[in-house]
Amino acid sequence: MVSQSLKQAFVGIVGAENVMDAEADKHSYSYDAAVLDPVLPALVVRPSEMDQVGRIVKLCNDNGLPLTVRGAGSNLSGGTIPSKGGIVLLSNALNKILEVNEEDMYAVVQTGAITAKFAAAVAAKGLFYPPDPGSQAVSTLGGNVAENAGGLRGLKYGVTKDYVMGVNFFDVEGNYCKSGSKTVKCVTGLNIPQLMVGSEGTLAVMSEFILKLVPPPQAAKSMMAIFPDIMTASRTVSAIIAAKVVPCTLEFMDNFTIGAVEGFAKVGLPTDAGSLLLIEVDGHPAQVAEEAEKVEAICKANGCTRIQVAKDAVERNKVWEARRAALSSLARLRPTTVLEDATVPRSKIPAMMQALDKIAKEYKLTIGTFGHAGDGNLHPTILCDRRDKEEFHRVEKGVDAIFEAALGLDGTLSGEHGIGLAKSRWMEKETNRASVLFSKRIKAAVDPKNVLNPGKILGE
């Protein structure tokens, strides 16, 4: 609960129409895309000017009110669930693209700008912003930076962190802080921009970013390679990289997912195939032609039973239609979709797939797996009905077993979806106690009252 006078203080900052405290509104800010129980905030505020943000943060800190920033609420780890109540600050009205600099190839943009719209705006100026999470049509750049979001092009182009040159933010006392630079090289002081990347709203409220842009690739070629089993596909992934070809995209789908995609999107995949790789190479046309040939030969040499190289844009789109349909096709099979993010070193994908198979059998779960094979980032997707308590209990156990397996294979809890609430209790297992304490000391130093997104990443 927030007192009437405190509510009036927020109204004084953003106006009555941008403060919501009706129960019916609070419900719609109690969840995100993670399958976790909802928690209602006390109040929701929607600033549209940057100076309002600083005043909101200060007000929260002065009153010890938890503050959770919400972009699109599309994160998959509970990052925007206001688990301690308090204030939800909506960033989606702070969405201006302030500068696109073609000469120096950077852009300055506000936190609430939508990823795909930003990418389109820079593309219109002949530049390229590569990070492309599957949620880019709705996700905000602030959410991307806070989660260090990845995407389909991660293998060659890296993820969000590789494009963050500067971050401006409000500290918990509401002071406006600048960090980073518009220069390609900058080693002034601590690397604060990179500290902000992946901090999930626990250290500061970010306001603007300086993002690196690159020249767009001149050409691209896509192909779909079908394999009898998971081992041959994984071997192929390693062989492609060993041959010094770095595709921009190297995606994977297991037999179950292939069946689901074919059942729904009907793109002509063989449902008896063990697994499938979707590969795209890009760059200079001559290099693309050469690399595409190389990749095709490697696939064939490693047991690929069929390969379909896209001849034109229509065929290329078909390849990506299959990939885009993966999650949708799985999600339609059962009411609840638990999308996980276990990531292992590339060479351990077969071992991880075996582990997933075992987990599915042991806990009697339906798991379809697809993901970014090129960087070992798999998305085992558990299909269930969360209304069935017994089944959901098995799902929770299965999820724990998935993390356990990934860590056992030198992997990580999260390749791109963040820790949030969902995985905080595993932090020590992946790193170690001293490391978690170190992070906690940083948090305590910059946010002594534990106001900023409390309980996320580091738990209680």
Partner 1 sequence: MADLNHMLKLLNELDDQIVGCMRCGMCQSVCPVFAETGREADVARGKIALLEFLSHEMIKDAEAVKERLDKCLLCGSCAAACPSGVKALDIFIKARAIITAYLGLSPVKKAIFRGMITKPALFNNLLALGSKFQGFFTTPVNDIIGSSCSKLLSPLLGDRHLLSLADKPLRGNGTIDTAPGLSGLRVAFFYGCVVDKMFTSVGEAVLKVLRHHGVGIYMPVDQVCCGVPSLASGDLKSYEDLVRMNLKVFGKGDFDYILTPCGTCTSAFHHIWPLMNSGFSQSERETIAMLADKAMDINAFIADKLGVSKAEPAAGAKTVTIHDPCHLKKSLGVSGQVRTVLGANPNLKQVEMAGSDVCCGCGGSFNLQHYSVSTKIGKKKRDSIVATGADVVAAGCPACMMQIADMMSQAGDRIAVKHPVELYAQTLG
Q: Which of 8, 16, 27, 321 binds partner 1 (CB under 8 A)?
A: 27
Amino acid of residue 49: E
Token pair of 325 as six digits: 């349909």
Shortest spacing between CB 86 and partner 1, in angstroms: 17
Q: Which of 54, 143, 350, 376 binds ligand FAD (CB under 6 A)?
A: 143
- Contact track, partner 1, 76-115, x by CB under 8 A: --------------x-xx--------------------x-
Residue 214 DSSP symbol: B
The conformational region for residue 292 under phi > 0 = left, psi -120 to 50 = alpha, else beta, is alpha
3-class DSSP state of 397: helix
417 near partner 1, rule: CB under 8 A: no
Angle (nearest 5°) at CA 418 between 413 and 420: 105
Q: How far is the CB of 286 from ligand FAD (least distance, A)?
A: 30
State the nearest-atom distance from the C-beta of 29 to partner 1, in Å: 6
**How many CB atoms sit inside 10 A of residue 323's CB?**
22
- With 0-12 / 13-18 / 19 or more C-beta atoms within 10 angstroms meaning exposed / middle / buried, residue 121 is middle
> 354 to 413, contacts with ligand FAD by CB under 6 A?
none
Q: Is 139 in the site for ligand FAD (CB under 6 A)?
A: yes
Report whether 93 contacts 208 (CB < 8 A).
Answer: no
Q: Rounded to whole angstroms, how far apart are CA atoms 381 and 331?
A: 9
CA count, 13 A, side-chain hemisphere, 121: 17
Write each residue from 312 to 331 as x if it is in contact with partner 1 (CB under 8 A), else as -, in one continuous string: ---------------xx--x
Q: H or E segment at 61?
A: helix 50-62
- Binding of ligand FAD by 261 (CB under 6 A): no
Among ligand FAD, partner 1, none, what binds residue 24 when CB lies within 5 to 8 Å by partner kind? Answer: partner 1
| Shortest distance, position 187 Cβ to partner 1, whole Å | 38
Q: Smallest distance, Å, CB 7 to partner 1? A: 17
Residue 161 CA to residue 415 CA, distance in Å, equals: 13
Those residues whose C-beta lies under 8 Å from the C-beta of residue 85, and which sit 6 or more positions away, are 39, 40, 41, 42, 66
Closer by beta carbon to ligand FAD, 91 or else 329 = 91
Q: Return the number of the residue (23 or 460) whose C-beta is nearest partner 1.
A: 23
Residue 296 to residue 17: CA distance in whole angstroms: 58
**Which one of 52, 61, 68, 329 is in contact with ligand FAD (CB under 6 A)?**
68
Nearer to partner 1 (CB atom), residue 143 or residue 217? 143
Stretch that binds ligand FAD, among 35-43, 197-205, 275-283, 343-351 (CB under 6 A): 197-205
Q: Are 304 and 229 in contact (CB under 8 A)?
A: no
Sheet architecture: strand order including 106-110:
97-101, 106-110, 205-212, 164-170, 176-180
Minimum CB–partner distance for residue 143 and ligand FAD (Å): 2
Question: Which residues form the interface with partner 1 (CB under 8 A)?
Answer: 20, 22-25, 27-35, 38, 46, 72-74, 90, 92-93, 114, 116, 135, 137-138, 327-328, 331-332, 335-337, 385-387
Question: Which residues form the interface with ligand FAD (CB under 6 A)?
Answer: 32-33, 68-76, 79-80, 91, 111, 133-135, 139-140, 142-144, 146-147, 149-151, 200-201, 205-206, 327, 416-418, 453
